[in-house]
Chain A
Amino acid sequence: MIFYASMAVAGWLLLVGLYGIVTSRHLMHLCLCLTVLQSATYVMLTGIGNRRGASAPVYAGGVPTSAPVVDPVVQALMLTDIVVEATVVALLLAITLQVQKKTGSTDPDNVSVMKG
């Protein structure tokens, strides 16, 4: 049940993030929509790794290795992605600043024409 719930949330975040990107009127808003879209992967990964009655994949303090735990692979994927995404968004915002400087506009519709 929790699996389908997390899939539903992930799907919704993906679709709503895409909608935001397509209808965006401001490049900064577009960057934030991208983070919404990307958070779909976090929800999906944790949902996939989840196991009924399992705890975090940490055996500190003498927890036996036979104890039921969730999948650590998807958690590792997710945690690196969160940190890396923050710097990628910083890069996109830096590009936004440059676009504004060069074209005087932050509307994605006005900056679609590339000039040499």
Chain B
Amino acid sequence: MRRVSRLTVFFAGELGLAALLTAAALHEPGPTSERDRYRVATTAPSVDLRQVTDAVSAVNFDFRGIDTLGEEFILFVSVSGVLVLLREPEAEERGLIIDAADAGRDMKPTSAMRGWMVGTVGPKVLFGLYIVGHGALSPGGGFQGGVILATAPMIIYLADGFKVFRRIVKFRMVEIAEAAGATAFLVLGLLGILAGREYLTNVLPLGEANTASSGGTVVAISWATGIEVCAGFVLVMYAFLQHVLAKREAAE
């Protein structure tokens, strides 16, 4: 299709869409509507019924747990897709050549920068673990904490290059961690069935709100998600870095 005719068709559609969006926004009933019952049903009950003081985590890992399971498997499948598309079968044997390609990378940090970068790794890991572990109490949880944890290997790559990154991040281990995180979510859901209730029912001891042991399966699923998200992001990084370095090596 020619560019002009394509744009003509597109703008006709875009105008129609804009009109529909405007109409929809103007007819939106607002906060007093029926929809507010979702908010009412998930806020106070998260504390009263689940001992979880962060209602978002209660929704994510309990009330809406089955949807989150689906979302997590979108993540799982995407990561698998990246690994399949970017796989470099012989890259492992070419370790030495990868080192040479690594030495030629564009950005080499000064020793002061490197020191600061490496110095942030410990706090990053601690902060990530804190965010994953306290999802039931304060804003946080597996998704947010997992991403924070995944930035630690990334900063190691930026500071020291792929050689050190690869020494710290064992591909097979991360792969296993990702699969284990995904499986743990599924298995934690089965606990509900084993207890004679529905799938993903919160059957672990709920504890007391505002204490670290509160929330039952919310905390457990948060950890499972944290491990999977962190491992998934690290695998994606690994695959892209390996691909880029192998390409750079081929160019040299």
Contact = CB atoms under 8 A, between A and B. Distances in A.
A51 B221 CA distance: 29
B48 A76 contact: no
A29 B247 CA distance: 21
A94 B84 CA distance: 9
A76 B44 contact: no
Size range of the chain A interface in the assembly: 35 or more
A80 B143 contact: yes
Contacts of B58: 72
Contact of A83 (B18, B22, B143, B210): B143
Contacts of A33: none
B64 A58 contact: no
B44 A65 contact: yes
Given A15-B17, A97-B243, A98-B85, A76 B78 contact: no
B78 A72 contact: no
B159 interface: no
Interface of A is mostly: helix
Contacts of A88: 74, 78
B25 A4 contact: yes
A116 interface: no
Contacts, number: 151
Interface string A17-45: 01100110000000000000000000000
A86 B144 contact: no
Interface stretch (B121-129, B179-187, B228-236): B228-236
B232 A69 contact: no
Contact of B79 (A7, A79, A87): A87
Nearest to A96: B85
Contacts of A76: 56, 59-60, 64, 68
Contact of A73 (B42, B44, B141): B42
Given A81-B71, A87-B78, A69 B18 contact: no
Interface in B166-206: none
Contact of A51 (B31, B59, B79): B31
Contacts of A60: 53-54, 137-138, 210
B10 interface: yes
The 6 closest A-B pairs by CB, nearest first: A57-B55, A72-B55, A7-B25, A87-B78, A65-B44, A71-B39
